Structure formats: structure tokens, C-alpha cells
Structure 1
């Protein structure tokens, strides 16, 4: 199934990225505030429309950050669906640092099966699943070595931790302080997860609220590469399509 669906999601992400870049380069963002006070721009809305048009051709439902959010009673009946963040890192977009992505995940009930993460400014397209393998710009990325335990990471003589550029909370700072000889890398959007995928970071702690569409695409890609996105007790991975679409705090490694 993923062999047929991923090319459609890739095309959707790339076409959305073109629309995002047109607005990005125009400097006319038409920024507004949503009910939760987070920013939304004309680029978020344009990308949502393009992606939804592509994905609905597959006859699977779409849950997008910028679309109408179906109630849980409806969503709980979905076996397969798409979970989309048309523009992840809107603050990075507004600040014009290029660190924003298009995130598209294909889901099976409460688990991400496949993901696409596209960074329009960088021109980098990450995609994959356990079925297809994982790729960056159509070059396969070999699976990473077996995941270390958190205890093993704590004992490493040096460690690279990636953190949010816009949301470095006090809880995150306290967690990072448990490690010795830390190299801290800041990054926006789902690109933080891609640093783990490419072996450029060891750990991504997120002790600040996120939504399901922020993590699902990267989560699928990491799962196909011997990495995961875990509850802070590191006993189980995050699950999706919950009554409330807010993620718990997590550790990804």
C-alpha cells in the first residue's frame, strides 16, 4: 500500500511547498491568530487546500491542522486516514529562518505507518515507512543502529541534544541539565526529528505541548529507522487519534 500512497503524499508536499515559498518570498503573510493564540498565515491555508485536494483522491479521510476537526466519535471509526500539518513551524516561517516543514502522515488507527517531511526552503524531502524504507531526496537512508536506552545515553561522555528554537521550556532545560558534556542544537519544526534520523543528534526532549500533526509524519519515518517517539517514562510510544489531539510530553531517540 505504501508504494502507491507515498508518491501521492510526496507530490502533495512538494506542490504545497511551492505555494508556501511564493508567499514566503512575497513578504505578505496575512498573519492572524487562532483561538489558541497560535499564528496562522495565508501559507498555512494555501498548503492545506493543495494537500487536501491531493490526499482526498485516495479515498481516505484527512485530518489537517487547518481543516475542520471531526469529532472523536467519527474519527474513532477510521481504520486508515491522513494526518497533516500543512505548515509546521509557522513562527519559523514568520521569522524567515527557513526552518519550517510540510508534514503528511498516513495512519492506521492510532499508529503512524508512513510519513513525509518536506522543508521547502532547504529543498529537502524526507519520506518513508517500514514497508518502503526511508529516503532523503530519493536517496535511501540506511537504518540506524539499535536504539540505546535512556540510561545508556545518560552515561555517554558526550551527547548532542536537539531542542526547539521557539519552545525551550524550563522543564526541558532541567531535563537537559541531567546530562554531562552536552552539545545543544536548536532547530524549528519537524527538522529536529530529522537530525536524529541523520545521526546528527542523539536525543530530542519535548517537555512543552505539541499536537498530533506535529509529530506523526516524523514518528513514522523514525520508526522505520530504529528510532521512536516515547512517553517520558520511555515505556511506550506516543499514540494518535485520541479524544483530545494534544500530545503528552515526549522523548525521541
Structure 2
């Protein structure tokens, strides 16, 4: 992989090690203004990631979930910036499930061009850059033991869906019925994108609120593996959405992530 990916891997692995240390001892939980939970694992991982990115890329700003919630929003008008979710799937983390992740993505021109999704409790990661995605298998010493190139699968006669474990709703159920999807799995965090990227499923509809740091790294992995993330009008989901009148900065609209492009219709509404 590229030098950028090597750096993202090192940063994510270091952040993941800090998260697992908290996970093993049990986190202290507090709540933000929007009533979403946050733990010291979120804060420690974000501190590691932002420090490493600032050292390696002092001219590229980083938009990070916990920093934004504290009112620290960098200027991204130059078009290139990082999106960071230090612990995606905090509810999964608190409930002792394993599908929580570290997410880091590089955005250029509104598009995630590189990124990493690391699931420390599952000892695997997904990294993307230069139109190529790989799955990494991580050893107990937080080192990379194996790499495997991944690619979306071509859709067959029936589609397999992925839905959010914590945010399922009637709109999602209606989508599954409309597209005759009877086989689907419930997964937390950005691992849903990665399951599409490695050919384990075909489509992930999201009819609920997400933020850009929730989706950017998974979007990069999926896109570099041959998939796509589309708004309901069929256009590409873009990043760096500030000054939105209908929602807060960096909030995403509803979207559908697809594996093989042949499965994606021109419009979803």
C-alpha cells in the first residue's frame, strides 16, 4: 500500500490499542449535549489520532467528532481535510460487543480518497487508497500479520442487505421489501461498508441521521473496492457539507451504499 496508508495504519493501530485498554477495564461513560454517550476511550483515541495527523500533515486540518462537539471546528475551505471518528459504535463498545471501529479518512474535493476502518476487538482493519482496498489481519501485539485485497461482488439473483443494529426503522424495512431483500444482517459501526467492500453483502440502506465522520472512512474503503455511496436522488454522497440550512454542519442526508454497481438503480426515490 501507499505511504499514506502505512501512516493511517500506524495511527489507527495505536488508537485501537488505547481503546482496548479502556475496553478491558470497563469505561466511564458521560453524555454529550445531544444525549449520545462518550467514554474516555473516545477521548484518548482522538487525542492520539489528532496529534499524529498534525505532526505528519501540519497544513491539512482534521475534523474530529469529539473536537467538533466541544466547538473546535477547523477551516476546511482549502478543500483537503481529514475526517476522524475515534470510536465509531460507542454504544457497541459500552455494551461489550465487538463491532466498534476507529475511522480516519482523507477528503479531497468533497470525496474520501483514502481511509482506514479498524475494528480492534475483531483484530481486523480495512484500508484504502489509490483505488485499491485491503483487509488487514491484526495480531495480539497490534501488528499486521496478513493483507488481503478485497473487492465488491457482482450482484446475483437476490440481494443481501446490511442494516444498522441500533438505528433500524420503518423506512429501512420498506426499502428491503421494495427491493425484495429477505436476507440481511444487523451490524454496528462503519463495518457495514466494509462488509460490502469484501463481497459479503450487496446493499446498506441508511434512512437515519449520520455525520460525515461516521461514514467517510467506510465510504473510502467501499469506493476503492468498486462500490458506491449514493444519495436518494442517485448522486454521490459528498463531504465537507457546512452551512446547511436543513441540518447542522457535517450532517449527512439519507443514503444507500451499494456493492456491485450493477445493483444500484439510477435513482432511489
TM-score (norm 2): 0.84
Contact 2:67 2:73 in 1 (8 A): no
Does residue 31 (structure 1) correspond to residue 36 (structure 2)? The answer is: no
Task: Determine the structure 1 residue equivalent to 2:251.
Answer: 246
Compute the displacement of 1:128 (Å): 1.1
**Could you tell me how far 1:176 is from its partner in structure 2?**
1.2
Residue 115 to residue 7, structure 1, CA distance change in 2 (3 Å)? same
Determine if the alignment matches structure 1 residue 121 to structure 2 residue 121.
Answer: yes
1:143, CA displacement in angstroms? 3.6
Q: Which residue of 2 aligns with 1:191?
A: 191
Where does residue 54 of structure 1 map in the other structure? 52
Task: Tell me if the contact between 2:46 and 2:86 (Cα under 8 Å) persists in the aligned partners.
Answer: yes
Distance 2:122 2:6 in 1: 20
Corresponding residue for 2:201? Answer: 201
Residue by residue over 1:118-145, the C-alpha shift from the partner in whole angstroms, topping out at 9 and shown as x without a partner, is 00000101101235x2111152424435
Q: Separation in 1 of the partners of 2:150 and 2:126? A: 13
2: CA distance, partners of 1:9 / 1:99: 20
Write out the 4+ residue segments of structure 1 that deviate beyond 3 Å after TM superposition: 68-72, 142-146
- 2:46/2:66 contact within 8 Å kept: yes
Task: Tell me how far 1:209 sits from its aligned partner.
Answer: 0.4
Shift of 1:111: 1.1
Unpaired runs of at least 5, structure 1 = 149-155
Cα distance in 2 for partners of 1:144, 1:24 equals 32
CA deviations 1:45-66 (Å, max 9, x no partner) are: 0100011111111222111001
Deviations 1:194-250 (A, max 9, x none): 11011111100000100000110111111111101100122x110111112110000
Q: 1:172 to 1:239 in 2, by over 3 A?
A: same
Matched, 1:144 2:143: no
Q: CA 1:24 to 1:79, structure 2 compared with 1: closer, same or farther past 3 Å?
A: same
Pair 78,192 (structure 1): closer, same or farther in 2 beyond 3 Å: same
Work out whether residues 193 and 221 of structure 2, in 8 Å CA contact, stay in contact via their aligned partners in 1. no
* Alpha-carbon contact 2:63-2:83 (below 8 Å) kept: yes
Partner of 1:98: 98
Aligned length: 239
Unmatched 5+ residue regions in structure 2? 137-145, 243-248, 259-269
Please report the TM-score for the alignment, with normalisation by the length of structure 1: 0.89
Distance verdict in 2 for CA 1:42–1:70, change over 3 Å: closer
Q: Counterparts in 2 of 1:76-91, with a 5 A limit? A: 77-91=77-91
Give the alignment's Cα RMSD to 1 decimal: 1.8
Change (3 A) 1:178 1:114: same
Give the secondary-structure state (helix, strand or coil) at the position aligned to 1:201: coil
